[in-house]
Amino acid sequence: MHEPLTTVLNMVPSLLWFAFALVVLIFYRKNLAEVFSRLGSFEALGVKFVTVQNSIDAAIDLAEKSPQWKVEIPPTEKRQALRRTRQRVGLFKGVQLLWVDDHPENNLNERRMFHQLGVDIDSAKSTEEALTMLAAAEYDIVFSDMARGDEAIAGLDLLRQMRQRGNKAPLIFYMGSFDPDKGIPPRAFGATNRPDELLHLTLDALERRPAADNA
């Protein structure tokens, strides 16, 4: 005779939890929608980062095998660069990059990586071509090699002429032969021969832009 009452009483906790969940859903549906939207974006970004990671892996593998570059990059440092890139990925979107190198084929993996991050890349093979492009368009950042052909310090000449013409775009030297003990050339933003450090330097430069705080 008491079984129906017992059954009802046993159901009360479940009913209360259902009512609580319903109230939360009604009053916080907008916030929950935003959370799930962000989770979806993160998942989409995760898929994108597979290709970004593949590109940096290929770039690092090539640099480590090159007798000229003589690079050795610990896996932990590569992961740090990728983690920071993931956290600040919005900074790359729509960035205008001028890449100056007389052998652009040497940077295919790095270029692919930046393309995947939303960076627009223009290429120049000489100082003269680069200066013409810099006069015609505004670039957020410039990458440059150092030696081109018979010119051992072509990159420094580019940097000097940029500053003489009032161009303040941060210039990062990305070159095969780099000795950190010699320091960074004056008025350059940075210099490296490591793909992971190139990511860090790029983020450093982009974070200093006035609009970076809103990214």
DSSP state of 150: T
Closest to 158 (Cα-Cα) out of 97, 99, 83: 99
Number of domains present in the structure of the chain: 1
Domain range for 209? 31-214
Q: In this predicted structure, which of 7-16, 32-41, 66-75 has the lowest mean pLDDT?
A: 32-41
pLDDT above 60 (res 132): yes
DSSP state of 185: P
Determine, yes or no, domain membership for 20: no
Return the percentage of the chain with pLDDT > 90, whole number.
Answer: 45
Q: Are 158 and 145 in contact (CB under 8 A)?
A: no
pLDDT above 70 (res 169): yes
Determine, yes or no, domain membership for 26: no
The pLDDT assigned to 55 comes to 87
pTM of the model: 0.75
Q: In this predicted structure, which of 133-147, 157-171, 175-189 has the lowest mean pLDDT?
A: 175-189
DSSP state of 214: G
DSSP state of 184: P
Determine, yes or no, domain membership for 21: no
For residue 212, the one-letter residue type is A
**What value, to the nearest 5°, has the Cα angle with vertex 131 and ends 129 and 52?**
75
Dist CA 175 CA 173 (whole Å): 6
Determine, yes or no, domain membership for 161: yes
Locate 176 and state its tokens: 């095969």
Determine, yes or no, domain membership for 19: no
Determine, yes or no, domain membership for 16: no
Determine, yes or no, domain membership for 7: no
Determine, yes or no, domain membership for 6: no
Residue 186 sits in a domain whose CATH number is: 3.40.50.2300
